[in-house]
Every structure is written in structure tokens, then in C-alpha cells.
């Protein structure tokens, strides 16, 4: 049996401090753990903003209760995947983690340890790009920014750049059986920055539109797309 949720009553906090107090309660949530936040006000906006601060790693469910709201917060990775966009966002976090680990290994002078992580990352990012390019982009909307920029076109261009930078990282490892950390590090650091910006742009400019379009699809079609997306990433 799992332990009962920790309950934190934030109704006595001054309104200006509620979000900060909530942040400290949720930022170190461990897998399998949940916290119940009790607030006087509707926490929807606060939870959305905490989730963004914590790179969309949270899942929550709120209900109005006597004297306020009760919100159960847990890690998103502890919950079932909620559709295609959730699958993409979770995959972003997995990619980030893999690549951050590779960079840490390089910085610790363990290039051999980094090699295996880079190989796993390369397989995973190529599948992710294939999913976005070939399965989703052709059937989902192409929203435009206020300046007329086509967000799908930007995505496709950035994918080419990511794959080009990845090839550079890979060539460091193939040109030499045991490259030096200083030879590899700049290429990994550049790709890491490119990837973070790309994911941020997708999650803020494109995915909200894709999410709305998926929601508007009939259930059978949405389910089929989700199943194909999962199968592609799992292959």
C-alpha cells in the first residue's frame, strides 16, 4: 500500500507567497510521490506556471472543496501518457536528460562513457524527428506567428540543423577511437543549446495548436495517430 499523500495547507500564506510556497513543495517530488496542496483560490494559473518553471514535469488534478481547492500534484512521468503532444513533450525531457548526462561525462573526462550515451541519444533524436516530420507535420496545422513565420517550416529547418550538428558530434567519435574531452565538448555543448531552444520553440509556438487540432479530431483518428506515434518511438 502506498503512503498517504503529504498535505500542505497554503490557505494561511499571504496571497503573494502562495506560489513560491507551492514551488518549494513540488520541485523535489520523487517518482511515486504526490503532494496535496490546499489553496483558497483556484490554482489553475499557478499550477500552469509552476509546471513551466519545472519544464513541464508535473501532473495535477484540482477539485473545489469546502473552503478552497484541493490539488493533487505528482510527476508527469508517474501518470499515463495523455495523447500525442504529451508523448512528444515527455520525449523532449528524455532526450534532454540523455544528452545532459553525455555532456557531464565529457566534462568529467569520461569520453568512453559519453560515447554510449551519444549513441543512444542519436537513435532517439532521429526517431523523434522522423515522428514530427513524417507522421505529424503532414496532417497537423501549420500555425503562423505574428510576423507571418510558419512554425512548421521553422521546425523542419531546425531539425536539419540538429541532425547536421549531431553528425559533427558523431564524427568526433568515429574519427578517433578515443577522442580527447576537449575535442568533443564544444560540439556537444553547441548541440545541447540548439536542442533546448528548438524544444522550447516547439512547446510554446507549435504544440498548443497541434494539441487543439488533435482534440478536435474524431476519437478513432486521434487514437490511431497516437498509436502510430508511440510505435515509431518504441521501435
CB-wise, 111 or 136, nearer to Fe ion?
136
Residues that bind Fe ion (CB under 5 A): 132, 202
Q: Which lies closer to Fe ion via its Cβ, residue 101 or residue 201? A: 201
CB of 91 to Fe ion, least distance (A): 7
Measured distance CA(118)–CA(123) in Å, rounded? 9
Q: How far is the CB of 187 from Fe ion (least distance, A)?
A: 19
Q: How far is the CB of 226 from Fe ion (least distance, A)?
A: 15
CA angle 109, 110, 114 (to 5 degrees): 125
Rounded-to-integer distance, Cα 125 and Cα 86, Å:
16
CB closer to Fe ion, 56 vs 202: 202
Residue 113 or 143 with smaller CB distance to Fe ion: 143
Could you give the CA distance from residue 92 to residue 115 in angstroms, rounded to a whole number?
Answer: 20
| Integer Rg of the chain from CA | 21
The C-alpha cell that represents 94 in the structure block: 528524455
Spatial separation of the C-alpha atoms in residues 17 and 153, rounded to whole Å? 42
For residue 103 the three cell numbers come to: 555532456
SS3 38: strand
Burial pattern 21-57, b for ≥16 Cβ within 10 A else e, equals ebeebbeebeeebbbebbbeeebeebbeebbeeeebb
At its nearest, how many Å lie between Fe ion and the CB of residue 201? 9
Pick 65 or 163: Cβ nearer Fe ion: 163
Specify the DSSP class assigned to residue 15. Answer: G
Name the β-bridge partners of 70.
Answer: 38, 63
Closer residue to Fe ion (CB): 22 or 137? 137
Amino acid at each position: 500500500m502506498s503512503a498517504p499523500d503529504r498535505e500542505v495547507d497554503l490557505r494561511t500564506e499571504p496571497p503573494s507567497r502562495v506560489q513560491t510556497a507551492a514551488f518549494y513543495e513540488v520541485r523535489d517530488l520523487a517518482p511515486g510521490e504526490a503532494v496535496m496542496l490546499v489553496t483558497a483560490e483556484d490554482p489553475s494559473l499557478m499550477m500552469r506556471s509552476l509546471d513551466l518553471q519545472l519544464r513541464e514535469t508535473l501532473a495535477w488534478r484540482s477539485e473545489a472543496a469546502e473552503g478552497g481547492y484541493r490539488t493533487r500534484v505528482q510527476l508527469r512521468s508517474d501518470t499515463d501518457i495523455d495523447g500525442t503532444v504529451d508523448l512528444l513533450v515527455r520525449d523532449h525531457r528524455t532526450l534532454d536528460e540523455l544528452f545532459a548526462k553525455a555532456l557531464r561525462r565529457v566534462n568529467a573526462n569520461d569520453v568512453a562513457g559519453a560515447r554510449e550515451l551519444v549513441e543512444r541519444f542519436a537513435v532517439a533524436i532521429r526517431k523523434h524527428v522522423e515522428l514530427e516530420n513524417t507522421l505529424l507535420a503532414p496532417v497537423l496545422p501549420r500555425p503562423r506567428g505574428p510576423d507571418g513565420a510558419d512554425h512548421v517550416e521553422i521546425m523542419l529547418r531546425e531539425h536539419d540543423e540538429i541532425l547536421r550538428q549531431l553528425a559533427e558530434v558523431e564524427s568526433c567519435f568515429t574519427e578517433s577511437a578515443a577522442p580527447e574531452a576537449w575535442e568533443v565538448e564544444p560540439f556537444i555543448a553547441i548541440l545541447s543549446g540548439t536542442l533546448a531552444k528548438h524544444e522550447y520553440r516547439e512547446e510554446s509556438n507549435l504544440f498548443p495548436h497541434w494539441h487543439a487540432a488533435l482534440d478536435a479530431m474524431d476519437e478513432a483518428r486521434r487514437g490511431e495517430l497516437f498509436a502510430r506515434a508511440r510505435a515509431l518511438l518504441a521501435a
